[in-house]
Amino acid sequence: MSRDGGTNEAKTMALNRALIFFGPPGAGKGTQAKKVAEKYHVPHLSTGDMFRDAIARNTELGRLAKPIMDRGDLVPDDLVMSMVEERLSSPDSAGGVVFDGFPRTVPQAQKLEAILERRGFGKPLVVDIEVDANTLLHRIAGRRMCSKDGEIYNIYDAPPKSPGVCDRDGGSLVQRPDDQPEIFRERLLAYERQTKPLEDYYRRQGVLETVDGSGSVEKVTGALAAILERAQQEAQQGRDGHL
């Protein structure tokens, strides 16, 4: 530990930017985004979780989003953006933020850029988690979610200690309505049509990193840590070069 009681480590652990997890449904965005947000002590902003929360609380936003999500379509950009802007107005994202499942369309990405610029953040770092379609289907079929705290399990690869019960709070585990195979197919189509074009959008900006998401959760976490450390070092060198 450093003589200043860990300040150096805190410095190397600072995110100070927006990190975007990108990839098809079931790629492991939520699983990895949660870990990175905890590691860097920044908010994990999942638009899917925010909509599910609005649905559970039966808010107007939830009532608008529910039938759209149940079909596997994307919620309109204006609803997504006003929800995200409101969330980002909270001061807890000053040190960076991890986005999961957002942005999902080019207009959302453009609007996010304007927000980040206003807040003094540079370009986001975008990590595309690549997983083949058969693995996605297997993961989606096995996913279960705690009805109380939203904790994610997988009956095949990451089961709870007692079947159907959340390890953390004893809540019952449920399957997301949009994880039914026919709805999952619609979500994949929406991803290909509306979200995949963002890959080129971010590649052209030089901010896209790709990670092989087909290995174990730990393996993917390790590959992501290496990408993030390299990006942090490059950002630091860029800042030093401007001194």
Binding site for ligand AP5 (CB under 6 A): 23, 25-31, 47-48, 51, 68-69, 72-75, 80, 101-104, 108, 139, 142-143, 152, 154, 157-158, 178, 187, 213, 216-217, 220
Give least dist CB 131 to ligand AP5, A: 8
Annotated active-site residue 143? The verdict is yes
Nearer to ligand AP5, 14 or 225 (CB): 225
Cα of 208 vs its chain's centroid, Å: 15
The one catalytic residue in 29, 35, 111, 144 is 29
176 is catalytic: yes
Q: Which residue in 130, 103, 106, 80 sits closest to 18, CA to CA?
A: 103
Question: Among 96, 108, 74, 120, which Cα is nearest to 198's?
Answer: 108
Q: Closest-CB residue for ligand AP5?
A: 48
Is 63 among the residues known to form the active site?
no
Shorter beta-carbon distance to ligand AP5: residue 48 or 96: 48
d(CA 53, CA 183): 20
**Amino acid (one-letter) located at 210:** T
29, 101 in Cβ contact below 8 A?
yes
Sign of the Cα torsion 76, 26, 32, 203 reads: negative
Q: Are 28 and 22 in contact (CB under 8 A)?
A: no
* 144 belongs to the catalytic site: no
Catalytic residue, chosen from 35, 111, 143, 144, is 143
- Please report how close the Cβ of residue 237 comes to ligand AP5 at its closest, in angstroms: 31
Is residue 71 part of the annotated active site? The answer reads no
Q: Which residues are catalytic?
A: 29, 104, 143, 176, 187
